[in-house]
Amino acid sequence: MGSEDNFVICIKGQGSHASSPHMGKDPIVIGSEIVLALQTIISRNMDPSVPAVISCTEFITDGIHNAIPTNVVIKGDTSLCCHHKILS
């Protein structure tokens, strides 16, 4: 791999008690959708012969076991051959 970049995505939701998730905005669900979408960037936008990868390596919340958190942080890494772009 020729090029490496790190990324950090911060998501601010609205925390709530786990028994009433309808009272908040769940950043875990939002973050999960982002992780799933990132996994399709390479497979749907890059030539399969180009060595490239996007990896989400950390998914951090400020929550506890019985509450929907307010914040989620997703961290990760991209690597690709240096003469290609992930997105045009």
Identify whether 88 is part of a domain: no
Q: 3-12 and 71-80 as β-strands: parallel, antiparallel, unpaired? A: antiparallel
Judge whether 38 lies within some domain: yes
Q: Are strands 52-61 and 71-80 parallel, antiparallel or unpaired?
A: antiparallel
Q: Which two tokens stand for residue 1?
A: 């791999």
Is the predicted pLDDT of residue 1 greater than 60, yes or no?
no
Identify the three-state secondary structure at position 25. strand
CATH number at residue 20: 3.30.70.360
Would 37 be classed as within a structural domain? yes
* Cα separation, 15 vs 68, whole angstroms: 5
Counted residue by residue, the chain has a size of: 88
Distance (Å, whole) CA 35 – CA 64:
21
Number of compact structural domains in the chain: 1
> What gap in Å lies between CA 14 and CA 34, rounded to an integer?
17
32 is a domain residue: yes
| pLDDT tens, residue by residue, 35-86 | 999 999 888 888 888 888 999 999 999 988 999 999 999 999 998 876 555 5
Q: For residue 42, what are the domain limits?
A: 3-80
